[in-house]
Amino acid sequence: PLIALMKDQVDGLRTNGYPAASLHSGMTNEERDDVRRAVRAGEVRLLFVSPERLLAPGFDTWLGSVGVRAIAIDEAHCISQWGHDFRPEYRQLKQLRRMFPGVSLHACTATAAPPVRDDIVAQLELIDPLVLVGNFDRPNLIYRIEPRIDGRKQILGVLERHRGDAVIVYCMSRKETEAIAEYLSKEKFNAACYHAGMTSIQRSKVQERFTAEKLDIVVATVAFGMGIDRSNVRAVVHMTIPKSIEHYQQETGRAGRDGLESECVLFHSYADVVKWNSITERSTNEARARLDEEGADAEAYEALDASVAQGRVQLEAMQRMASGAVCRHRWLVEHFGQRYEPIARESRAGDANGCGACDVCMQEVRMATDSTTVARKLLSAVVRTGQRYGASYVADVVRGAETEEVARRGHASLPTYGALKDDDKKTLTSYIFQLVERGLLARTDDEHPVLVLTVEGHRALRGEMEVALRAPPRGRGRKHATAAAVHGAHEVDASLFDRLRTLRRELATARGVPPYVIFSDATLMEMAARKPQSLNEFAEIKGVGEKKLADLGLTFLRVINE
């Protein structure tokens, strides 16, 4: 669906000696004519196009005349209205089966739960297709999910572990991306923002700098990422909760594509859920108004309602994952319909039966002391203040705040006043929102939302159930995926690794391709560990093919042997 994605794929394939090309709107007429001639001459094996171009009048006739053997649809989840990135133009791809009845048709996606997979088959009108599902687990990714208490302080803690590494930071709004990027720049990080409000030239410049390893951190809305295939992203940080587990899986999946250990951190607050619901309501009203103008039929309104309902279900699932204390790898894998099989990680502490690669299994998630009692005191405060106030005010009451408002309303005389005086306001507010996320409290839909107890909340207040609350996160100092790691039986020479990265960047700049197209970080690490002395030894490095051996072998050996 994206020109940037096509360009990266073609660059990578050509560097590896595979004859690939693309046709897109960013090319001149002369460039497109050259590609068409190469295709007709049999000089191109793989051609990248967008759905719109593929379905343009006359394009199918031209393709038929050159002899297409297979058609692959990438990002196929875009076909399904149940998917997290539905694109209406993808629906038209069902015509392919009729346009090319004798051609094999493939649909590929990295993020499709069973209902989405079924919908892809139905929308493409495939009859009894072979469905292949790979392993959704990414064992080299370390997942951490924390309540957002002080977002800026928390993100600094993550980035200090990854100074000099490639990092993507996701935010919900354009304004937030700009503010966070400016803040990180003041903190001496090499950062820039990326969002849909920028011009295409501005966005391309940021993307090119990041891909060329001239920019370390991109702070972006979800508009950034699909066209990025930089393999050595060491961390993905979400400053707000994504609107679905599918979005979370795809966005965190941009980390560690070279197979090296990488970190995925999510900071969340119930306020994020409120914002997503507000955004959904606004976009739904706009969509309904368009349907009214077009005089749409009942089926169109039903499809809109179904899509909104599905979005609500997806957000609730993401919210449950964020607020829970279950192995993150297990949760993700089972969400996509697979059984999770933990692998042995002897080098990591934690639950031997867990993944060893998330905050829960590494025992970093701290539960509040006497959580059930804390929850009952908070629920009692909501009831005793008449279920007429928000989280901030209830937190003031239980911490015993001496404010004019509390005194004026007479709540300083309540039994729950000061009942949790040892906790600060941010911690108490976090506990309250956790009770909302667990369904013990609800927020009204008024202009000024207030807290009310649910049926489950009354059960908890009566002591009929246990309640678990997460304590505020503690700092941690461990840095992951450093070049000084042990690679197999050899220790990586960090100084040599840095010199090899510099050489790679210089070669990439000279050739006009992204650095990872030359060699991945994993390949450079193996070189810096094994230190090959000859072309034969260099050829044994994983990621060195016949073409790269001939093209780059001597150049890299010179640096290795300096």
Burial of 442 (0-12, 13-18, 19+ CB in 10 A): middle
The β-bridge relationship of strands 441-443 and 451-453 is antiparallel
Question: Contacts by 484-492 with C-beta closer than 8 Å and gap 24+?
Answer: 485/261, 485/525, 486/529, 487/525, 487/526, 487/528, 487/529, 487/530, 488/526, 488/529, 490/529, 490/530, 491/529, 492/525, 492/528, 492/529
Query: In sequence order, what are the residues at sequence separation of 6 or more whose Cβ sits closer than 8 angstroms to the Cβ of residue 334?
Result: 340
pLDDT of 521? 87
Q: Where are the beta strands (DSSP E) in 97-231?
A: 104-107, 141-147, 166-170, 191-194, 217-220
pLDDT of 347? 40
Inter-residue contact 391 to 433 (CB < 8 Å): yes
Token pair of 39, please? 């295709």
Helix axes 494-511, 521-530, angle to 10 degrees: 140
Inter-residue contact 480 to 142 (CB < 8 Å): yes
pLDDT of 475? 53
Could you count the other beta carbons within 10 Å of the beta carbon of residue 11?
Answer: 20
Residues in the chain: 562
Note the helical H segments in 70-168.
Answer: 88-91, 95-99, 114-123, 151-160
Distances in Å between the Cα of 112 and the Cα atoms of 128, 198, 243, 280, 332 are 18, 30, 15, 22, 12
CATH fit for domain 486-560, picks 1.10.10.10, 3.90.550.10, 1.10.150.80, 3.40.50.300? 1.10.150.80
User: What would be the CATH architecture of the domain defined by 3-123?
Assistant: 3-Layer(aba) Sandwich (3.40)
According to DSSP, residue 267 is labeled E
CA nearest neighbour of 223 among 170, 186, 287, 275: 170
Handedness of CA 335, 341, 344, 350 (dihedral sign): positive
Q: How many H-runs (helices) and E-runs (strands) does the chain carry?
A: 24, 14
CA nearest neighbour of 368 among 431, 414, 310: 431
Burial of 353 (0-12, 13-18, 19+ CB in 10 A): exposed
Residue 105: half-sphere exposure toward Cβ, Cα within 13 Å: 20
Q: What is the pLDDT along the chain (562 residues), one digit of tens a residue?
A: 778 778 878 988 888 889 999 999 888 999 999 999 999 999 999 999 988 888 888 988 898 888 899 999 998 988 886 665 677 778 788 888 888 888 999 999 887 788 889 989 998 988 899 999 888 899 999 999 998 878 999 999 999 999 889 999 999 999 999 999 999 999 999 999 999 899 888 988 998 899 889 999 999 987 676 656 688 999 999 999 999 998 999 899 999 988 889 999 999 987 888 889 888 888 888 888 988 888 888 887 887 888 888 888 889 889 888 887 789 999 999 988 888 887 655 444 444 557 889 998 888 888 888 999 999 999 999 999 999 999 999 999 999 999 999 999 999 999 999 999 999 998 898 899 889 877 899 888 777 789 999 999 999 999 999 988 888 766 554 444 444 454 555 688 888 998 999 999 899 888 888 788 898 888 998 999 999 999 999 999 988 888 899 899 999 999 999 8
Inter-residue contact 328 to 294 (CB < 8 Å): no
Beta bridge partners of 267: 146
In the three-class reduction of DSSP (H, G, I as helix; E, B as strand; rest coil), residue 452 is classed as strand
Token pair of 224, please? 């950034």
End-to-end alpha-carbon separation of the chain, Å? 45
Beta bridge partners of 111: none
The verdict on pTM exceeding 0.95 is no
Beta bridge partners of 235: 167, 263
Q: Which helix (H) or strand (E) holds 82?
A: none
Let me know if the fold of 3-123 is the same as that of 136-365: yes
pLDDT of 21? 96
Answer whether CATH 1.10.10.10 is correct for domain 371-461. Answer: yes
Inter-residue contact 204 to 215 (CB < 8 Å): no
pLDDT of 477? 45
pLDDT of 487? 53
The CATH number of the domain covering residues in 136-365: 3.40.50.300
Ranges of each domain in the chain: 3-123, 136-365, 371-461, 486-560
Token pair of 548, please? 């790269």
Could you count the other beta carbons within 10 Å of the beta carbon of residue 42?
Answer: 10
